[in-house]
Homo-oligomer: A and B are copies of this chain.
Amino acid sequence: MSGTDRTQASIVGGPRIILIEPQLGENVGAVARAMLNCGIDRMSLVNPREGWPNQRAVTMASGATEVLDKAELFASAEEAMAGLTRVYATTARPRELSARVVTPRQAALEMRAAFEAGDEVGVLFGPERSGLTNDHIVLADTVISVPLNPAYSSLNLAQAVLVVAYEWFTAGDETPPQELALSGTRLAEKHEMLELFERLERELNAGGFFRAEDLRPSVIRNMRAMLQRGQLTDQEVRTFHGMISALTRSWQQTQNAKRRRGEWDDEE
């Protein structure tokens, strides 16, 4: 999906994303993208296997290099977590530990509250192949486990980060769940809709549309309901008037042509 606008201020901040021993530079780059998409710009790297800095990470980050440029490098998970007060570990449901487990959505609400209270929040992600060890998990306060299709629940690293980061962004986002994007026009006022209905019904009547007089009220109601449902703009009402004009003209011209040729429409 496109829509990036470099004239807009980047919304940044959020929890620190801590990658423990990421194996491939490409994946670190893809994580940087997912983070910046969601307004998170602080990354910590613990022993990236391919070393650091990494050109493949930069290539993959395509535009999110600001996240890589200020990533912090650590020799151990303990050092990367040292200054944090609240840490989440992303993993499948732990099997041999008693741990508090939350969904990404719940974690996002908690992290927003903690962040606003001034806590230093971080989220741990393990190596691509093996994930976090129990030794890492017990250094965290809470486990984030993403509910997914139990028969196929493996997310790659960047996608796991995307889900957590997307929930973080969404928890602070005020986009209305639904709206009509009007692109510079406005919704038609009701008197404009009524004028349209009345003209349409007059022309339809002239064209012999209402065959059964007793059904006319319900047919009109159904047509009006259909057009109301479309939530027409003022521009679209004008377009609709033009369509009616063209259709009536088209009929008249056809009739005139037939008259000139001496034909008569059976329908008349």
Contacts and interface: CB of A to CB of B under 8 A. Distances in A.
* Chain B CB within 10 A, most for which of A11, A146, A160: A146
A244 interface: no
Interface in A224-240: 231, 233, 236
A181 B151 contact: no
- The size class of the interface chain A forms with chain B is 35 or more
Contacts of A170: 103, 105, 147
A107 to B, nearest CB: 9
> How many copies are assembled?
2
Interface in A127-159: 130-131, 143, 145-156, 158-159
Given A93-B181, A101-B181, A178-B102, A1 B147 contact: no
Interface stretch (A49-57, A161-169, A202-210, A253-261): A161-169
Nearest to A148: B37
A44 interface: no
Contacts of A236: 98
A214 interface: no
Contacts of A145: 1, 3
A117 interface: no
A3 B149 contact: no
Nearest to A105: B177
Contacts of A166: 146, 163, 166
A126 to B, nearest CB: 8
Interface of A: 1-6, 8-12, 33-34, 36-39, 63-64, 90-103, 105-106, 126, 130-131, 143, 145-156, 158-160, 162-163, 166, 169-170, 173, 175-183, 185, 231, 233, 236
6 contacts: A3-B145, A3-B153, A93-B181, A95-B183, A101-B178, A101-B180
